Amino acid sequence: MNPLARFETLAKPWYRVIDLHDSAVESNEEPLRVPGLQIIGGALEHLYIQCAQDSTRVRVHLRVWGSEPEAVHQDWSEPESGVLACASGTLLVNQWAVGPAAEWDLPSAGFFHAQVRQRGRQDVTRKIAELWEEADERGLTTKETTALMRGLDGTEQYLVDLWPASEKS
């Protein structure tokens, strides 16, 4: 089975959060935590991805399916599940301090089951620490260090799978 739609973008995780939400709903900068989950929190119209860092941009992949996917996810973490309402059919990938990184028109509107997987969280954390150590040893300015970090953009990645759900299931 192939997805109905695929989307991808780079987004800056201000305050270590990426907020996927219905375009008709305002951003909420106080994410609700879902007990026991490290990666996502949410409210009905928001899916918050808690990133490992806020120094580099993360890559967000979205796939929309007609039914629950049977896909194999090699090299991705186990999924964390949630529900997302998108009544407008347009999903924003919001970067709190600077606005949307992307606006995606979904194949349909409504309630969706959501699964979020990640990869690269440990890698990017380690690489950032190494880069800061190297920058300190070489006496680089913050501007020079920030430029070097651009090479790490997309190392931390999130895969979001959505498929139709009955209301608020």
What are 64-122's pLDDT values in tens digits?
Answer: 999 999 877 889 999 998 889 999 999 999 998 888 999 999 999 999 999 999 999 99
pLDDT-based confidence at residue 22 (cuts at 50, 70, 90):
very high
**What is residue 143's predicted lDDT score, i.e. its pLDDT?**
92
Q: How many Å apart are CA 118 and CA 40, to the nearest integer?
A: 11
For residue 39, the model assigns a pLDDT of: 74
Give the integer Cα–Cα distance in Å for 85 and 61.
Answer: 18
In the chain, what's the furthest Cα-to-Cα distance? 57
> In a 10 Å sphere around its CB, with 0-12 CB exposed, 13-18 middle and 19+ buried, how is residue 166 labelled?
exposed
> pLDDT tier at 44 (50, 70, 90 boundaries)?
confident
